Structure 1
Amino acid sequence: MAKPQPINYEDASPEVRAVFDDIKTSRNVPDVNNIWKYLARDPVTLRRTWSSVKEVMAPGALDPLVKELVYLAVSVTNNCGYCVASHTAGATKAGMTEAMFGELMAVVGMANETNRLVTGYRVPTDAAFE
């Protein structure tokens, strides 16, 4: 199989264009990000993913900055460069400062280190945490 290529708006099916239009309107942007152009190769996945992102990232019990910080932390841990860049931009837009980013990266690094230590040592969960 050849390397997947993005689907641009002018080449998109009406179903894909409808999702692209919703993304552009919801985010007040002139074009969709690359992730959506690549997901457009499978319109069902595009629609489902956009619907889920829109619902999960909407303001709720967690404010938008907290949601972006969590997404950024998970993206760093999962080694998704695209998502790290995207959610660093989103967190910055939502109010993340350099100091917050530094602290977040320290927490991510510490959590990953201690998670691996606990896994390697097979540390049982304390009764107090159950």
Structure 2
Amino acid sequence: MAVVPILSDEEAGAEALAIFDDIRARRQTDYVNHFWRALAADPALLKATWERLQQVMAPGALDPLVKEMIYIAVSVTNGCSYCIHSHTAAAQAKGMTPAQHGELMAVIAMASQTNALATALQVPVDERFLAEEGAG
């Protein structure tokens, strides 16, 4: 159960409704999901989050499918069931195949295991993996 109300269009204020309308227009759908409706309890947070998401998830050096797959990996790591489901659906809509999804889950599981081992064993970082000062 949510700790804030999931606001309907009738319950949301004018500021939130403007963001809902932008979500509908940009996504070409009538559906506004629960995440955005929950954030509508704080219209400033809703606006800031929606605007930042548009910037981060826009096409760039990484294509939109890769960004969605990264989002899934971070969501799995953070244990966010909502984000796992919503971004898996988004990745599938952007063309992620069942084979890609399976490989993604295998990479996430492998990284989780090797991260845990390296952390538990306190393995020092190899010199050659350290970024040089001023590099970037």
Q: How far apart are residue 103 of structure 1 and its match?
A: 0.4
Q: C-alpha distance in 1, partners of 2:126/2:54? A: 37
TM-align CA RMSD: 1.2
Give the fraction of aligned pairs with identical amino acids, expressed as a percent: 53
After the TM superposition, which parts of structure 1 deviate over 2 Å for at least 4 consecutive aligned residues? none
Q: C-alpha distance in 1, partners of 2:106/2:44? A: 38
- What TM-score comes out, normalization by structure 1 length? 0.95
Residue correspondence of structure 1 range 1-130 to structure 2 within 5 A: 3-130=3-130
- Structure 1: which amino acid aligns with 2:59? P
- The size of the alignment, in residue pairs, is 129
- Structure 1: which amino acid aligns with 2:69? L
Q: How far apart are residue 77 of structure 1 and its match?
A: 1.1
Deviations 1:58-95 (A, max 9, x none): 11111110001000111111111111110110110111
Q: C-alpha distance in 2, partners of 1:96/1:22? A: 25
- Structure 1: which amino acid aligns with 2:53? V
Q: C-alpha distance in 2, partners of 1:3/1:89? A: 24
Q: C-alpha distance in 1, partners of 2:45/2:5? A: 16
Deviations 1:97-130 (A, max 9, x none): 1110110000000101111111111111001111
In structure 1, the partner of 2:134 is none
Q: How far apart are residue 5 of structure 1 and its match?
A: 1.6
- Structure 1: which amino acid aligns with 2:67? K
Structure 1 unaligned residues grouped into runs of 5+: none
Q: C-alpha distance in 1, partners of 2:77/2:124? A: 23
Q: C-alpha distance in 1, partners of 2:35/2:60? A: 24
